[in-house]
Amino acid sequence: MSESEVGKDTTPEPSPANGTGPGPEWGLCPGPPTVGTDTSGASGLGTPRRRTQHNKHKTVAVASAQRSPRALFCLTLTNPIRRSCISIVEWKPFDILILLTIFANCVALGVYIPFPEDDSNTANHNLEQVEYVFLVIFTVETVLKIVAYGLVLHPSAYIRNGWNLLDFIIVVVGLFSVLLEQGPGRPGDAPHTGGKPGGFDVKALRAFRVLRPLRLVSGVPSLHIVLNSIMKALVPLLHIALLVLFVIIIYAIIGLELFLGRMHKTCYFLGSDMEAEEDPSPCASSGSGRSCTLNHTECRGRWPGPNGGITNFDNFFFAMLTVFQCITMEGWTDVLYWMQDAMGYELPWVYFVSLVIFGSFFVLNLVLGVLSGEFSKEREKAKARGDFQKLREKQQMEEDLRGYLDWITQAEELDLHDPSVDGNLGHNCQS
C-alpha cells in the first residue's frame, strides 16, 4: 500500500457521535494547516458545540423548574421578548428603581393635603400630575413581570404570590380610576376644581393609593418574614385571646361577688346633696375604709362612681370592662385605691395584684411569646430557602464543570486510541 493510500485510508473523518477530530491545534507541527480543513473545522467546533448544547440543556431545565414554560399562552422561554423581560425584572438595579419609586410615592402621599369640597392648590395639582408618573412606572413593572413569569396558571406565576396579587390589584384600580376621571362625566355634575381632572368622582377608588406603601413588603425580604410570622400566628393568637377572655370572665365574676355596690358612696355635706370634695372618691361609712374627715360631712350613697359611673362592679359587663382595664395596666392602681377606700386593704390588694400578675404579666405576654416563636420559624425558613438556593447554584456549577471534564476526557481518549493521529501529524510535518 502506497504512502498516499495510507494517508487516505487512515485520515479520521469527523464523527457526528463525538463531534471531535484532530486538527492543527492538536498537533506539534508549526506549519500551516493541511487541506483537510473540514476535518479540523469540525474538530475545532466540537468544543463550543458540545458546550453550548450542554449549557442550553441545563439552562432550560433549571428555568423550566422555576418558571412557566409559556407565558400568556404564546411566549416560551426561548422567546426573545420574554427573555428580555426576565432579564429586566431580575436585574438588581430594576428592583432598586422600583423601591425608590415606592419611597417617592409614599412621600408624595404624605405631602398631599386634602381640601373640602374638592378644592385644591398648586402643590396638590402638581402631586396629581406626579401620580400619573408613578402609575406608569408601576404598570410597566406589572406588565414586565406578567410577561416574564406568566399570569396565573403556573405555580410560579405572577399573581400566585399574595403580595404580587396586592400589587396587581393596586395597579388595576389606579388605571380604572384614571379612565373614569378622564371620562365625560354625567350631565349636570359640577366640574372639578383646583386642577383636578373631570369625569366621574372616584374618591373611593383613589383611596386605594394608600395601599401603595405596602408594596415595600414585596420588595424587602425582611418585611416578608415579619408579616408572614404575624399571619402564621393568627391561630395561636386566637387561642390566647380565648384564654384572656376566660381570665376576664373569671375575675369579673369574683369582682361581682366581692365589690358589688361598693363604689357609690362618697362624702357629702350634712343636710345637702353637695359633694364635700372637689375630686370625690369612694368612702366607707363603717369598717376599715376611708372615712370623711371634714367637718359637717358624712359618707353616704347616691354617687354615680368614679369615671362617671363606668368603673364599677355593679353588673357583669361593667365588671368585665373594669377587669380588662386592669389587665392592660391602664390606671389599674387608681381602681385599686378606689376600692381600698371603699372597703379596706385586704381583699382589694389580693384581688388586683393577682389579676395584674396572672392576667397581664403571664397571659398577655404569651402574645409576645407566640409572635417571637413564629418569627423565629419564619426566619429559619427564609435562611433554609437561601441556603437551598445557594446549594442549587453550587450544584449547577459542579454539573457544568463535570460536563466540561467529561468532554475533555472523551477528547483525550480519542487522542490516545487513534494511532492515525500521530502518523498524520508526522506526515504533515514532513510534507
Between CA 325 and CA 335 the distance in angstroms is: 9
Output the nine-digit C-alpha cell for 297.
360631712
Nearest one of 363, 364, 338, 365 to 351, comparing CA atoms: 338
CB 385 within 8 A of CB 43: no
In angstroms, the Cα distances linking 392 to 60, 220, 388 are 15, 23, 6
Nearest one of 323, 313, 351, 352 to 246, comparing CA atoms: 323
CB 405 within 8 A of CB 12: no
3-class secondary structure, 321: helix
Between CA 85 and CA 144 the distance in angstroms is: 5
Between CA 405 and CA 228 the distance in angstroms is: 44
Q: Say how many residues make up the chain.
A: 431
3-class secondary structure, 29: coil
Backbone angles phi, psi at 345, to 5 degrees: -95, -30
117 among annotated binding-site residues: no
Q: Which segments are annotated as binding site?
A: 330
Q: Which segments are annotated as binding site for Ca(2+)?
A: 330
